[in-house]
A = this chain, B = another copy of it.
Amino acid sequence: MAIKKRIFTPGPTEVPPRVLQSISRPLIHHRTDAFREVHAEIEEGLRYVFRTGNPVLVLTSSGTGAMEAAVANVTMPGEKVLTTPCGKFSERWDEIARAFGLETVRVEAEWGRPVDPSEVERALASHPDITVVLTTHCETSTGVLLDVGAIAKAAHDHGALIVVDAITGLLAEDVDTDGWGLDVVVGGSQKGFMLPPGLAFISIGPEAAARVKKPGHPVYYFDLAKALVSLEKNDTPYTPSVSLFMGLHTALEMVRAEGLEATLRRHRRNAAAVRAAVAAMGLEIFSHAPCNATTAVLPPEGTAGEIVKRMDGDYGIRIAGGQARLKGKIFRLGHLGYYDESDMFTMISALESVLKEMGIIEACGTGIGALLESFASDE
């Protein structure tokens, strides 16, 4: 028998069979009441996940498309914005802002550490003309969780809007859109939403909605004002990715059946157990503020690439390597989305075997033992 293929990356993540079935149903036309009903229920489900009363738009694009949509619709040319680069994806905000001709004030942190909200406060104080803060919830490339609640507070105290990339964070970590007053929150389908890639989500608060009405940059495909008008009739301005909408509908049903709190608890438990296992095997956790979506691990120098390769070759388990400046230095274990305790058993057992085979650890059992202990003690 060929080995089974399993995906354990922080996106794309595993897609439940029920969702795959929904995606492969014969097409319905998007300008029909049947589609509009599905869309209305999707909207309700997204608001539940985002914890918001704001409209949440579904865009047919990658998450990056929604990030661009946020910048193009919410900022004005020449404005000064604050970014929080501390990894590949928080760096992306800075790149997009510069592509749109904005001046960016960078509040950075070393990769592996979160940006300090008090430094954001200080930067805002020195730049009274900053109007928008573009930040990241879970930095996927490093497994770092940023304190978005505190950064949002700093932004609001300053009178700036806060725009958050929660693509990897949503459903793995609490995203309290309304409680924290997040003006714009961006999500993506191939993450906690348990879908293939191809859809992005973007919530628009009242102040952002006012800006969206008079975009300062050229917008057409990502014209959010037009999309908001369409949404009132459960419609989209352009042909949506209908099959993925059907899958999203099913995935959101699954999320509601489990409940948001139970979903977050499951992610917290899986992540804590994986971290316990990694530490027990004597490997370093790369992130100094680890998030519950993915665990970035710093193995002995020069071994990361081989570990990723053997996990796939020997066990059919696809984990992620490092990106950009972390390429070949770290590996990342995914526990974001449709994963239960047994999945963690599989992933950590395979990892432990690979590490033993490579001579990085001496005997097997410590890692998986710590994983089981963590699950048992973490109610």
Contacts and interface: CB of A to CB of B under 8 A. Distances in A.
Interface stretch (A9-17, A151-159, A179-187, A366-374): A9-17
Interface in A10-67: 11-12, 14-15, 20-21, 23-30, 32, 60-65, 67
A129 B240 CA distance: 37
Nearest to A188: B239
A242 interface: yes
Q: Is the interface of A mostly helix, strand, loop or mixed?
A: loop
Interface stretch (A190-198, A202-210, A257-265, A345-353): A190-198
Interface string A196-222: 111000000000000000000111111
Nearest to A246: B196
A95 interface: yes
Interface residues of A, number: 53
A188 B118 CA distance: 47
Contact of A218 (B26, B218, B221, B239): B218
A329 B98 CA distance: 47
B26 A100 contact: no
A72 interface: yes
A63 B24 contact: no
Nearest to A69: B221
Given A196-B242, A218-B217, A220-B95, A27 B11 contact: no
A30 B197 contact: yes
Contacts of A7: 26-29
Most buried by B among A11, A101, A238: A238
A166 to B, nearest CB: 16
Contacts of A222: 221
Given A197-B30, A219-B99, A244 B242 contact: no
B26 A20 contact: yes
A62 B221 CA distance: 9
B26 A23 contact: no
Contacts of A188: 239
5 contacts: A12-B242, A65-B238, A99-B219, A198-B240, A198-B243
